[in-house]
Structure 1
């Protein structure tokens, strides 16, 4: 793991991922007193994600913080109990223990819940870009010809691509359109990154 996790639990394996609980810092400047769950690629050991469990509003010990116990994965959810890692009596575990349930989401967690991202490159600003094949400036582009539009030159973290072409919506990094018999075809690309930021780019396809 890139940042130190203390009081690390045993690992749970599920679908090619190892899940480990423990206590750690959200970033390199924090004191390591937050309950965290970390997901690692089972083959490479690389971190896939880290999550700081929310203890806001819960009763926690004043000294030593809380740590996540061994996670359990069942029916698409991850379960992790948080307890005082240095408690020496069962009554302290019982009084301060809490159960957290995590479910999958397409939305990126807020910054205060992400664990261990300070060593990663900062997110790229989202920018929409369209490349065409053949070039729209090329001579001899006739009605009925196919033109590939590619958004691979766009930037952004975990980008999603949505195209609007003549009233039709398509998704994916590239699409193919047909040069119209008359007039022109306006195509707009909207790129949305993992934080929900967007940018757009447009091209006009017509016979030369």
Structure 2
């Protein structure tokens, strides 16, 4: 369908007969671009080597869906940087812009529009202590408890700008590449 729409030759495209060839590659394989093993949460897709040709057996290699989408017709060096940045964000539990439209529309009704306190921090699984905030006199004091964070199981934030969830650049955000970041990244969604 994709090749037909783009006017590419489809006579040599991958067929059902190629199932065993690709099954073996998928079973012991990983994404050719980011070198991450394929899983149910990181599914494989056929990525064309030369985007001007169709999905023929000698013009495709397996890539995870994230890399395939990010790569597109972009410069491979920029794509490699985006993928390395994603790996670093995930490994360190750092904030990332949320760019998935479906996720944004799921979370959007719960975004409130009033003043909010911002704590500039990040949480690392099995390292970050859970804090207790206590009002003492005129100050709010944060105490580290003995409990350690193991999972993020929800979201809780307030924002004056609904774009906090979208990752869309805005000129008034000076220090973070003109983007507002939310802490976290959607790895999985339970419906």
| TM-score over 0.5 (shorter chain) | no
Name the structure where strand makes up a greater proportion of residues. 1
Name the structure where helix makes up a greater proportion of residues. 2
- Return the TM-score normalized by structure 2: 0.25
Q: Kindly indicate whether structure 1 or structure 2 has the higher relative contact order, using CA contacts under 8 Å at least 6 residues apart.
A: 2
- Return the TM-score normalized by structure 1: 0.24
